[in-house]
Structure 1
Amino acid sequence: MISTVSDRRLAWGLGLAGLLPFLGGSIAVWLAPTVWQVSAIYGFTYYSAVILSFLGGVHWGSALQVPRANNARRLILAMVPSLIAWPALLFSPITGLWVLLAGFLLMGGYDVSREGREGFPSWYLWLRCTLTVMVVIFHLAVLWRLAA
C-alpha cells in the first residue's frame, strides 16, 4: 500500500498524466485535419479500452495481495472491464465509445462501493473519482463530435 506523501503524489501525477491521451485525442477529433480525425477517433477508442482493462487489473491485484472474504467475487468482477473493452473495439466507433463510457461508469460505481474501495487508502478513492469524471467528459466530447 502506498503510504508516503511522495508516493501519493507520484500516483496522482501518473494518474493525471494518463489523461493526456484522452485530452489529446478529444482535441484532435475536433481540430485536426479530417484524415487525422479518423486516426484520433480510433486511437482514443483503443486507449480507452486499454485503460478500462487496466482498472480491472487494479482490483485483481488488490484481491491477490490481501486475503478477504469477498476475494473470489472481486477476482470475477475484475474481469468485467476487459470483457467490456474488447468487444467495444469490434463495434462501430460510436457504439464502441458508448460501451466504453458505460464500462468506466460501472467501474467508477464499483470503486466507490463498500466492497470496491475495501483495501484501498481513502485518497485513492478521490483519485479514481477525479479520473473517472475526466474520462467521462472526454468520451462525451468525442461522442458529441461524432454526432455532429
Structure 2
Amino acid sequence: MRAAIPRLPLWLGLAGLLPFLVSAAAAWLAPTAWQVLAIRAFLGYGAVILSFLGGVQWGVAMCRERPGEDAFRVRMLLAMVPSLVAWPALLLHPLTGAWVLVAGFVLVRGHELSREGRARLPDWYQSLRTLLTLVVLACHALVIWRLGGA
C-alpha cells in the first residue's frame, strides 16, 4: 500500500503544474505572437523544474547520506545531471529542446524509481512524483505536437 501524500507537498506540486498547463494551452489557443512566447515560457519553466529535481537529490545526499561513501558520491554526481541536460535544451531549436527535456524528465523519474534513487526518500514522494511526471510529460507531448514534432 502506498503512503498518502501529505497535503502541503500535494498542493505545492499541483500548483507547480500550473505554468506547464497554462503555457501548453497558450501554445495552442493564444494569438500567434503569444504562442511563441508561451512555448519559450514552457521550455524555460521545464528547464527550471528539471534542475529543481536535481536539487532534490543534492539535498537528500547532504542530509541523509554519509560523505565519503559511494551512495553519497553517486547521488551528488547524479544530482548535477538534470541541470546539465536542462540548460543546453534552452539553446536548441524549440522542438529539439522539448524532446531533450522529455528525456531529462524520463531519466530523472527512472532514477527515482531505482533502488538507489528510492533510498532515503519518503514513500509518499513516489506517488507524488509519478503524478507530476505524467502531467509534465503530457504537457510536453502537447507542445511537441504543436511544434509539429509528433
Q: Which has the higher relative contact order, 1 or 2, with Cα contacts under 8 A spaced 6 or more apart?
A: 2
Partner deviation per Cα, 1:77-109 (whole Å, 9 max, x = no partner) = 000000000100100100000000100000010
Q: Secondary structure at the match of 1:45?
A: helix
Percent of pairs with identical residues: 57
What's the RMSD between the two structures over aligned residues? 1.3
Q: Work out the number of aligned pairs and report it.
A: 143
Unaligned runs of 5+ in 1: none
| Superposed displacement of residue 67, structure 1 | 2.3
TM-score by length of 2: 0.92
Whichever residue aligns with residue 136 of structure 1, its letter is L
For residue 106 of structure 2, what is the aligned residue in structure 1? Answer: 105
Unaligned runs of 5+ in 2: none
Following TM superposition, where does structure 1 have runs of at least 4 consecutive aligned residues deviating by more than 4 angstroms?
A: none
Match of 1:19 among 12, 17, 29: 17
| Superposed displacement of residue 8, structure 1 | 1.7
TM-score by length of 1: 0.93
Matched, 1:30 2:31: no
| Superposed displacement of residue 117, structure 1 | 1.0
For residue 45 of structure 1, what is the aligned residue in structure 2? Answer: 43
